[in-house]
């Protein structure tokens, strides 16, 4: 059994530096905002795994349904010998693809968490002894280079995570994907679809309070890493549907007027009673908008698959 390789493209202090930059900019912005990537420390990841099992949270189940059904078609259409996965985490869903790709030689998981990558790489190497696994510790939004590997390549970006990017960020991201790939390589993209407001809001505001705890976890991360004194009980979780932009927003609303100190940034931030801070945008898509965004990035949509209830889609596009 081969040993998986792990390449770090981020400096050891890159995560802390990025957190400091994002928190300083976000808490100074009007209105206040924080990027959703800071939900995901160990506790946040555990909470998100719980969210994916909640009855109202359909995206994970819907995407898995499509993957299980369409993996043979994906394999046939791409003939992929290298699979690249962005934001791979535990690589759980990708196992369906790996098992369905008969010619697969190399798996390249990409994530900012070295511990998650190492654990997943070891597990996959044990499950598939003939598979070359080369994990990359990288932030795909900052750009990185892929190591040499057999072609054609299939790059997977699953979970609807692309919806957490604002439109300009999404356009830049898709262009960067185009630049990573060679002509004939493919992108497999997961996108949550526009649907009725009640279904969407329920998926982000469960009565069990798991999503609320997940949302507030970003404050715990800032408290721990930057010495801040956020009182989590002084904020409440808010999820709302923006029909014009066709996205869900998660926010934290201050219950009272308060001042929060962030010593590592030499920052004191005042929250008015009722003031809301945006912590996540989750865009929902239509087939025509996905096609247009892919085309603008130099990627041609070849296949569009949805779950039986038309809640979620996987699209397969090829680089020109």
317 touches 77 (CB < 8 A): no
Instruction: Label each residue of 106-163 as H, E or C.
Output: EEEEEECCHHHHHHHHHHHHHHCCCCEEEEEECCCCCCCCCCCCCCCEEEEECCCHHH
What are the chain's domains? 7-56+205-283 (no CATH), 61-195+286-319 (3.40.50.150)
Cβ atoms < 10 Å from Cβ of 47: 20
Average pLDDT of the residues in 140-162: 91
Summarize the confidence of residues 217-230 as an average pLDDT.
96
The pLDDT of residue 35: 93
Answer left, alpha or beta for residue 104, where phi above 0 means left and psi between -120 and 50 means alpha.
beta
pLDDT band for position 200 (50/70/90)? very high
Question: What's the whole-number mean pLDDT along residues 48-63?
Answer: 95
Distance CA 301, CA 215 (A): 34
pLDDT in tens, 82-132: 999 998 766 677 888 898 999 999 999 888 777 777 777 888 888 888 899
Nearest Cα to Cα of residue 196 among 238, 248, 154, 269: 248
pTM as predicted: 0.92
Q: pLDDT-derived band of residue 141, with 50, 70 and 90 as boundaries?
A: confident
Predicted confidence band of residue 2 (pLDDT cuts 50, 70, 90): low
Give me the pLDDT at residue 216, please.
Answer: 98
**Residue 12's pLDDT is what?**
66
């Amino acid at each position: 059994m081969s040993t998986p390789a792990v390449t770090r493209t981020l400096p050891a202090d890159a995560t802390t530096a990025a957190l400091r930059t994002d928190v300083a900019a976000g808490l100074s912005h009007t209105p206040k905002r924080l990027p959703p990537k800071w939900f995901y420390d160990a506790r946040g990841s555990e909470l998100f795994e719980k969210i994916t099992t909640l009855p109202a949270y359909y995206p994970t189940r819907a995407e898995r349904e499509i993957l299980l059904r369409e993996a043979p078609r994906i394999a046939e259409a791409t003939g992929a010998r290298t699979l690249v996965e962005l934001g791979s985490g535990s690589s759980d869903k990708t196992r369906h693809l790996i098992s369905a790709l008969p010619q697969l030689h190399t798996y390249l998981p990409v994530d900012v968490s070295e511990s998650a990558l190492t654990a997943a790489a070891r597990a996959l190497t044990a499950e598939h002894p003939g598979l070359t696994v080369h994990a990359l510790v990288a932030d795909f939004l900052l750009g990185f280079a892929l190591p040499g590997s057999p072609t054609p390549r299939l790059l997977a970006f699953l979970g609807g995570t692309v919806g957490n990017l604002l439109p300009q960020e999404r356009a830049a991201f898709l262009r960067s994907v185009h630049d990573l790939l060679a002509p004939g390589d493919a992108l497999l993209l997961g996108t949550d679809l526009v649907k009725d407001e009640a279904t969407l809001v329920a998926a982000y505001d469960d009565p069990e309070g798991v999503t609320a705890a997940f949302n507030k976890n970003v404050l715990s991360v800032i408290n721990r890493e930057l010495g801040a004194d956020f009182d989590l009980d002084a904020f409440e979780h808010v999820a709302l549907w923006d029909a014009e932009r066709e996205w869900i927003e998660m926010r934290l609303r201050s219950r009272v007027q308060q001042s929060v100190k962030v010593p590592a940034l030499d920052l004191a931030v005042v929250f008015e009673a009722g003031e809301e801070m945006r912590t996540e945008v989750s865009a929902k898509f239509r087939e025509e908008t996905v096609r247009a965004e892919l085309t603008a990035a130099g990627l041609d949509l070849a296949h569009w698959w949805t779950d039986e209830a038309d809640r979620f889609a996987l699209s397969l596009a090829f680089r020109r």
